Amino acid sequence: MNQAALVLIKPDGLKKSLTGNILTRLSETKLEIVAAKMVRVSKELAEEHYKHLKDKPFFKDLISYIRGELHERRKVMAMVYWGEDASTKCRELAGATNPEEAEPTSIRGSYGRITTAGVYENVIHVSSNPEEAQREIKLWFHPEEIIVDLYPAKEIVAREYKRKVWA
């Protein structure tokens, strides 16, 4: 069945110049990229994204990590992959959460590391299943930023909506 998966190239992946490499690896899946952008990750977005880990001792460091505070790269590349078994296929290529336990040829196994503070810097995030994907994609993207209709959306007329346009 066609599914969507959120894929993030984390700040360590960007700092290590792994973008092209990771995209090439993920292209083996033959999935389609239906959304992509660079994001400056707010504290709110980071905490909501990782809310399932909020009681973990490494939570604060994890928030700093995903916001790029450990890598002087305050950005993340966010993408939506779409197609047959998207999350399973992308996670398989990503490898296990702990880069030391990940398959050595997987993306995390090849490029991840564990910091002395104990955070797994594993260069990439992939949604763990379609339900998580839906939750995460709705956090990271607006419907208009995705070129297919993934989830039900509605049109609204926004009044007093402040946004930037080209000068």
Q: Which residues bind ligand UDP (CB under 6 A)?
A: 53, 58, 62, 97, 119-120, 122, 125, 128
Cβ of residue 128: shortest distance to Mg ion, in angstroms?
5
Q: Which listed option, Mg ion, ligand UDP, none, makes contact with residue 38 (CB within 5 to 8 Å by class)?
A: none
Nearest residue to Mg ion by CB is 128
Q: Which listed option, Mg ion, ligand UDP, none, makes contact with residue 97 (CB within 5 to 8 Å by class)?
A: ligand UDP
Q: How many residues does the chain have?
A: 167
**Torsion angles phi and psi, residue 156, rounded to 5:** -130, 155
Instruction: Please say whether the beta carbons of 5 and 90 come within 8 A.
Output: yes
Instruction: Please say whether the beta carbons of 150 and 127 come within 8 A.
Output: no
| Cβ neighbourhood burial of 52 (10 Å; 0-12, 13-18, 19+) | exposed
What mask, x for binding Mg ion by CB under 5 A, covers residues 25 to 64? ----------------------------------------
DSSP bridge partners of 83? 3
Cβ of residue 160: shortest distance to Mg ion, in angstroms?
37
Q: How far apart are CA 7 and CA 4, in angstroms?
A: 10
Cβ of residue 33: shortest distance to Mg ion, in angstroms?
20
Residues with Cβ within 8 Å of 20's Cβ and at least 6 positions away in sequence, in order, are none
Cβ of residue 31: shortest distance to ligand UDP, in angstroms?
18
Closer of 3 and 122 to ligand UDP (Cβ): 122
Stretch 115-134 residues interacting with Mg ion (CB under 5 A): 128
125 is known as an active-site residue: yes
CA separation, residue 14 to residues 108, 137, 143 (Å) = 14, 20, 25
| # residues contacting Mg ion (CB under 5 A) | 1
Would you please indicate which residues are annotated as catalytic (active-site) residues?
Answer: 125
Q: For binding to Mg ion (CB under 5 A), which residues are involved? A: 128
